């Protein structure tokens, strides 16, 4: 299972062209859903208006080198290391899910488009990374869902209580869980269970990607932009937020 490309095995009953078309459609759904979410919430309008106001209120101008430095720091701290999370457990859970999801999605695309049949065997590292990525998503996601959520950890709410804001996390966990179960059933050679879990896997994955306008999926695109804007405002003197506690103590 860990060294076998499940999508190559699937090509015996489902054309690689169909699998590739499905991925393209899901990518378009994510892009379209994100744009629809931006239009509905007017996120882009708010961002550019705030950026323009920040520039007008700036007490100092930022050069190109400084802007590049701020962008790099944002990418490293907020994106690559999830520095916005103060609690270590929450940060680790987020990083496990984030990097696991990247490994899972990237290897899926590579195996479906470049190694879609047994006649074009994929390097063993690809299905290994696919499985490791999926397990990382499940480790980080279930840890967050059952132990780290604010309403569960601090408010005593049931972890099985669902709200619309949970749509992204739930659909992601269900999709990846079913994907692993499908791959396992396929490896055992049980055609009935393989077909059942394949259908459920496709259904849950479709829900994950078409629900972008109603879930928090699009937040992964907004957060880096908001983090960069905050850094720029602090650097050019236009921020209206109070200085960090450490800075205030240094001024006393």
Residue 61 phi/psi, 5° resolution? -90, 145
Domains of the chain: 6-52+63-235 (1.20.950)
Which H helix or E strand runs over 111?
helix 88-114
This prediction's pTM: 0.83
pLDDT digits (tens, 9 = 90+) for 27-37: 999 999 888 87
pLDDT digits (tens, 9 = 90+) for 199-211: 999 999 999 999 9
Q: Which of 151, 150, 146, 133 is nearest to 95 (CA)?
A: 133
Name the percent of the chain in helix, strand, coil, to the closest 5: 75, 0, 25
Q: How confident is the model at residue 252 (pLDDT cuts 50, 70, 90)?
A: very low
Best mean pLDDT range from 56-65, 89-98, 240-249: 89-98
pLDDT digits (tens, 9 = 90+) for 140-196: 999 999 988 866 666 667 777 777 778 999 999 999 999 999 999 999 999 999 999
Q: How confident is the model at residue 251 (pLDDT cuts 50, 70, 90)?
A: very low
For 246, other C-beta atoms within 10 Å of its C-beta total: 7
């Amino acid at each position: 299972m860990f060294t076998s490309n499940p999508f190559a095995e699937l090509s015996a009953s489902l054309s690689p062209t169909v699998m590739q078309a499905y991925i393209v459609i899901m990518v378009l759904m994510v892009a379209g859903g994100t744009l629809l979410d931006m239009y509905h919430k007017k996120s882009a309008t708010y961002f550019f208006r705030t950026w323009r106001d920040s520039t007008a209120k700036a007490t100092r101008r930022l050069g190109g080198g400084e802007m590049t430095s701020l962008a790099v720091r944002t990418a490293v701290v907020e994106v690559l290391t999830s520095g916005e999370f103060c609690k270590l457990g929450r940060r680790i859970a987020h990083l496990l899910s984030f990097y696991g999801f990247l490994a899972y999605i990237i290897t899926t695309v590579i195996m479906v488009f470049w190694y879609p049949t047994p006649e074009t065997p994929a390097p063993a590292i690809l299905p290994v990374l696919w499985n490791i990525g999926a397990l990382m998503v499940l480790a980080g996601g279930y840890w967050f869902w059952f132990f780290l959520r604010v309403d569960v950890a601090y408010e005593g709410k049931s972890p099985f209580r669902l709200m619309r804001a949970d749509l992204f996390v739930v659909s992601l966990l269900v999709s990846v869980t079913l994907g692993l179960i499908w791959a396992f059933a396929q490896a055992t050679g049980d055609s009935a269970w393989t077909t059942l879990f394949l259908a459920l896997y496709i259904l849950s994955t479709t829900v994950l990607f078409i629900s972008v306008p109603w879930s928090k999926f699009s937040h992964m695109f907004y957060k880096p932009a908001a983090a960069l804007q905050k850094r720029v405002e602090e650097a050019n003197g236009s921020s209206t937020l109070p200085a960090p506690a450490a800075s205030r103590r240094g001024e006393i």
